[in-house]
Structure 1
Amino acid sequence: MATIAPLAQAVSEVVRDGDTVAFEGFTHLIPFAAGHEVIRQGRRDLTLVRMTPDVIYDQLIGAGCAKKLVFSWGGNPGVGSLHRFRDAVQNGWPVPLELEEHSHAGMANRYVAAASGLPFAVLRGYVGTDLPKQTDNIKPITCPFTGEVLTAVPALRLDSAVIHAQRADRKGNVQLWGITGVQKEAVLAATRSLVTVEEVVDELEPRPGAVVLPSWVVDFVAEVPGGAHPSYAHDYSVRDNDFYQRWDAISKDRESFGAWLAGVA
């Protein structure tokens, strides 16, 4: 059953040095506040997993939290490059960063396989790409029924998963809606999980299209209003486009990034 706790306590319980961890969210509901708490707590040697690593992973990488990135696309959406990401890959600063690249479909199917308790996923999504030549754990597999050659990728099992949602009730049942990605699958694929929420309410109201994570699949819930900023939480906040623009300048230079990092820490 989920425990409702302050953010610092929840992060200390869920995200540990050396973890394979996903901070998932697609366009909105990106768990920035939790990521910043990971930076404050000085976590190290993390394997960061995400379908679309953007600014939050740029921040975690620049802070020296990560040793590896498992991903399918990376960038500052609508702006350009992730400069701390580039610096880590090209120059090993602040620490070298290992890369494991997949397609969007491959990442999504890997999450689903882990959430389903399966050892691997099978799909057509890599046919005609060079990714199998670049990533060791993308392998051909022959269908035993049709003889078609497909692609297998291993289940994406996580030590920890962190997501943001709109609401939880006092029992720890979580409700999220709007544009949803693989948040549910990430939680189900993880040994430990944390959901930050805009508010904790007495009772969850039915909402068409909402995803509900029952309390028995969530370890910790932390009430963090605005916890997705500068991304947004549908019906609670709007995207801070100006911050994404500012981040490009902040992150280009190690000194300006260091000043930002000091403010977070």
Structure 2
Amino acid sequence: MAELLSLGEAIERFVKNGDTVALEGFTHLIPTAAAHELIRQDKKDLTLVRMTPDLVYDLLIGAGCAKKLIFSWGGNPGVGSLHRLRDAVEKQWPQSLEIEEHSHADLANAYVAGASGLPFAVLRAYLGSDLPKVNPMIKFIDCPFTGEKLAAVPSVRPDVTVIHAQKADRKGNVLIAGILGVQKEAALAARRCIVTVEEIVDELNAPMNACVLPNWALSAVCLVPGGAHPSYAHGYYERDNRFYQAWDPIARSRESFTAWIDEFIHGTADFGAFQAKLAAQQEAQ
């Protein structure tokens, strides 16, 4: 049953060193604030799962929080590479990183299987692909009804899923609007789920067929306005394209990355303080 907590308390209580953690949100509603808090609390040895690792996982990998990455694409969307991810894979800095790469369809189906309580997902995929050569978790089975050769992958069942959403009511029910990605499936597949939201309201007033996550499926709801920045939150704020562009030179070297982390994450008490410091820097430029 969801509790209304601060983000700091939720991360402290529900994320343990060594956990498998999924931070999901596709194009928008990416839980950046939660990634910052994981770094502030120095969470270690995490297995990170995400369909499209972008800046949030570049941060966590570069900060030394991750031991393994399960993913289906990685990059700074519209800009280029994730330099901290590359440094960890190619040169083991700040530590070695195990990678397990899947296709989008594969990982999406693995989340669905996890949410359904199934041990693996089955899909029509990978014939002619080289991914099974480098990922031993991709297997092939024969359909017992047609004899067709199908791909099978383990279900994704995180210890903790973290997502961002537009609003929650005071009972802890959460409304997600706009592009859903695999947020619903990732939340239902997890043993524990933390949701950061833009606002807490008396009534969700959810339209018909909306995605509402019930409070009994969640562990904590945390009020963090702007918590998806620099991604956008449908109906609340736009994507900060300038930040994505600025991230490339920040993350390109170990020195500039470490200095940025020390100033903007370790040097701030929470995401609100980070936003204030970032806004002051942008105004000065």
- Give the C-alpha shift of residue 207 in structure 1: 2.6
Question: What is the Cα-based RMSD across aligned positions, in Å?
Answer: 0.8
Q: Could you tell me which residue of structure 2 aligns to residue 104 of structure 1? A: 104
> What are the Cα deviations for residues 87-123 of structure 1, in whole angstroms up to 9, with x where unaligned?
0000000010000000000000000001001111110
Contact 1:194 1:222 in 2 (8 A): yes
CA distance in 1, matches of 2:123, 2:30: 27
- Give the C-alpha shift of residue 127 in structure 1: 1.8
- Give the C-alpha shift of residue 125 in structure 1: 2.0
Q: Could you tell me which residue of structure 2 aligns to residue 210 of structure 1? A: 210
CA distance in 1, matches of 2:55, 2:125: 26
Partner of 1:26, secondary structure, is coil
Q: Could you tell me which residue of structure 2 aligns to residue 11 of structure 1? A: 11
Q: Could you tell me which residue of structure 1 aligns to residue 64 of structure 2? A: 64
- Give the C-alpha shift of residue 210 in structure 1: 2.7
Matched residue type, 1:45: D
Q: Could you tell me which residue of structure 2 aligns to residue 249 of structure 1? A: 249
Contact 1:178 1:210 in 2 (8 A): no
Q: Could you tell me which residue of structure 1 aligns to residue 172 of structure 2? A: 172
Partner of 2:164, secondary structure, is strand
- Give the C-alpha shift of residue 126 in structure 1: 1.6
Partner of 1:126, secondary structure, is coil
The residue correspondences of 1:72-91 to structure 2 (distance < 5 A) are 72-91=72-91
> What are the Cα deviations for residues 220-260 of structure 1, in whole angstroms up to 9, with x where unaligned?
00000000000011001110000000000000011110111
CA distance in 2, matches of 1:80, 1:251: 11
CA distance in 2, matches of 1:15, 1:210: 29
CA distance in 1, matches of 2:30, 2:206: 23
Contact 2:121 2:153 in 1 (8 A): yes
Matched residue type, 1:157: R
The residue correspondences of 1:92-131 to structure 2 (distance < 5 A) are 92-131=92-131
Partner of 1:158, secondary structure, is coil
- Give the C-alpha shift of residue 166 in structure 1: 0.1
- Give the C-alpha shift of residue 208 in structure 1: 5.0
> What are the Cα deviations for residues 181-234 of structure 1, in whole angstroms up to 9, with x where unaligned?
000111111111100000000010123553100000000000000000000110
Matched residue type, 1:18: G
Contact 1:102 1:131 in 2 (8 A): yes
Contact 1:103 1:125 in 2 (8 A): no
- Runs (4+) of structure 1 moved beyond 6 Å? none
CA distance in 1, matches of 2:73, 2:50: 9
Contact 2:175 2:206 in 1 (8 A): no
Contact 1:177 1:209 in 2 (8 A): no
CA distance in 2, matches of 1:101, 1:160: 20
Q: Which moved more, 1:129-138 or 1:60-69?
A: 129-138
Q: Could you tell me which residue of structure 1 aligns to residue 35 of structure 2? A: 35
Q: Which moved more, 1:60-69 or 1:120-129?
A: 120-129
Identity within the alignment, %:
67
CA distance in 2, matches of 1:24, 1:46: 15
Structure 2 portions without partners, runs of 5+: 267-285
- Give the C-alpha shift of residue 157 in structure 1: 1.1
Structure 1 portions without partners, runs of 5+: none
Q: Could you tell me which residue of structure 2 aligns to residue 162 of structure 1? A: 162
Partner of 1:27, secondary structure, is coil
CA distance in 2, matches of 1:128, 1:181: 27
Matched residue type, 1:12: E
The residue correspondences of 1:140-159 to structure 2 (distance < 5 A) are 140-159=140-159
